[in-house]
Amino acid sequence: MPKKLVILSGAGISAESGINTFRDENGLWEGHDIMEVASPRGWENNPKLVLDFYNKRRRQLLEVTPNNAHIAIARIENEFDVTIVTQNVDDLHERSGSRTVIHLHGELLKARSSFDEDLIYDWKEDINIGDFCEHNSQLRPHIVWFGEAVPMMQPAIEKVSEADILMVVGTSMQVYPAASLVHYKKVETPIYFIDPKPNISKSEIPNLEIIADKATIGVPHAISMLTRI
């Protein structure tokens, strides 16, 4: 049986493909307070603003391609049982060939009903005011906003708890509840933490290997180490 490798990925891996995180140093997204464009209240107050914000992100996503880190992760599926748990809402893991991807924060290339959250549609175009579901309710981005439940959290916890190896790439693991995932691993499960400016130390987490590089360099390095285990 191949070893179970779980990869926790975040914005850093997609940034190298040219995905703009939209988050400025002052905490604004494209000049907007986060809660204006990423919360149920923001949606209620100004749905057009929210749709415009995510329409721009969707258009940008369709113009970029997976990078070497995404591709290296997809290729390792030949040797390991790989599950990706990502905080990213893009589809770059899937486009690189990864088969099992859990999206904690939703998916940009999907829309869902504002009436029934289980009505989810593949969606590559803009979502406009007046685009309705079959219940005549406005479609919204299939994104987990601040203050909303994270429905894929439990499946992610289960995968991490079963992992033989854990890899963290492109995320500082500071945003909760995603940051809590590392605490569900088995004590003996090694962690490969890839970040150009790592904010954790080996004294904090058992069996931690730190690779202080960006994703496109660090992921192939980590994989070369894994294949020697």
Could you report the per-residue pLDDT of 102-140, keeping only the tens digit for each? 999 999 999 999 999 999 999 999 999 999 999 999 999
Residue appearing with tokens 């990869």: 7
Q: What is the CA radius of gyration of the chain?
A: 18
| Tokens describing residue 91 | 């589809």
Instruction: Measure the CA–CA gap between 34 and 44, rounded to whole angstroms.
Output: 14
Residue appearing with tokens 């140093």: 25
70, 103, 105, 142: the catalytic one is 105
105 is catalytic: yes
| Tokens describing residue 217 | 């360099």
The pLDDT, as a whole number, for residue 48 is 97
The pLDDT, as a whole number, for residue 96 is 98
- Please list the residues that pair with 194 across neighbouring strands: 169, 211
The pTM score is: 0.93
Instruction: Measure the CA–CA gap between 86 and 97, rounded to whole angstroms.
Output: 15
How many CB atoms are closer than 10 A to CB 74? 19
Q: Is the pLDDT of residue 176 over 80?
A: no
pLDDT 10s digits, 64-92: 999 999 999 999 999 999 999 999 999 99
Specify the length of the chain in residues.
229
Residue type, 73: I
Distances (CA, A) of 14 to 109, 144, 167: 15, 18, 16
Distances (CA, A) of 146 to 52, 107, 111, 143, 175: 18, 15, 17, 10, 11
Residue 168: closest CA among 225, 215, 109, 106 = 215
Alpha helices (H) in 126-213, listed in sequence order: 153-162
For the segment 17-42, the average pLDDT, to the nearest whole number, is 78
Q: Is the pLDDT of residue 28 over 60?
A: no
CB 155 within 8 A of CB 135: no
Distances (CA, A) of 107 to 99, 146, 193: 15, 15, 24
The pLDDT, as a whole number, for residue 31 is 72
